Amino acid sequence: MCSSANAYDVAVPDFTFHHYPGKLHHVGANTSWARLAPAIAARARELPWRTRRPVLFWRGCVRGSRIRSRLVPLLQRLGRDDVSVPIDAHDSGYFGRSRDYVPVDRQCDARFLLHLDGNAYSASLKYKLACGSVVVVVGSPFHEWWYAGLREGVHYVRVDGPNVWRDDAAIAAEWSDKTLPALSAVVANLSTTADGRRRARRIGANGQRLALSLDADAMACYWTAVLVKYVALLARLQEAAALQSAS
């Protein structure tokens, strides 16, 4: 479903394009991307930028994720102790089984949406982009099949996250010294001046357009490109094998 720079895997469209029950409370609802994308966009249209909450918002399942289990408590502590970056971050539980669960289209109420990896990649990026809010990605080595179309500073903004494979004290120190100032700078740069707010709306709109373009035609185009490249690679391998046999 995802790949990374140090892997040979070919990223493929994941299950969420067909069904993602964790994104809605009612079991059995149509939770395909084709159904949810226009619903999210419709909600976003009801929320002009000036009416959205000026907070950095995150919901997701913490259980089983080393990254989230380390970072979410730090985010919550920051939300209590520091008003420079208003934060609303809570564990929504597995398949939304938590009182802190928020329906996927309600995250559009916030101007800034935080994106954190899960056990590997997180499939929620397209849902956040579809809101037209500014998506702040905490550095990730993973990519989905459509990430080649993403441009930092155009469709989203990015901050480097701490190395979560270190001990808790080191993670907290790196968070305080590096990640938190970066988050503060992003929110401030896109909130405190008229130019910054215009840039924020532009980034949100660009990200939304990209997310809403991820339809069946886009997937077909992707698979065509993958197969064309595979055919060219196979031809080179066959040519190399033929030269080796001839020698």
Q: How far is Cα of residue 243 from the mean position of the Cα atoms in its chain?
A: 46
pLDDT on residue 54: 92
- Please spell the DSSP secondary structure of 174-204, one letter per residue: HIIIIIHHHHHHHHHHTTSSHHHHHHHHHHH
pLDDT at 119 over 90: no
Neighbouring C-beta atoms of residue 37, cutoff 10 Å: 21
pLDDT (tens digit, 9 = 90+) per residue, 202-241? 999 999 999 999 999 999 999 999 999 999 989 998 988 8
- Token readout for 53 is 């909450």
As a whole number of angstroms, the distance between CA 123 and CA 215 comes to 15
pLDDT on residue 27: 43
110: phi then psi, degrees, rounded to nearest 5: -100, 150
With contact defined as beta carbons under 8 Å apart, do 60 and 118 qualify? yes
* Alpha-carbon Rg for the chain in angstroms: 20
Please provide the average confidence, as pLDDT, over all residues in the chain: 87
Helix (H) or strand (E) holding 55, with range, is strand 53-60
Q: Could you tell me which residue, 182 or 134, shows the higher pLDDT? A: 134
pLDDT (tens digit, 9 = 90+) per residue, 121-168? 899 999 999 999 999 999 888 899 999 999 999 999 999 987 777 887
Dihedral (Cα; 185, 186, 187, 190), 10-degree rounding: 110
159: phi then psi, degrees, rounded to nearest 5: -130, 150
- Token readout for 59 is 């919901």
pLDDT (tens digit, 9 = 90+) per residue, 20-34? 876 654 445 788 999
Nearest to 207 by CA among 158, 149, 145: 149
Nearest to 53 by CA among 118, 109, 128, 134: 109
Residue for token pair 């991820």: 214
pLDDT at 1 over 80: no
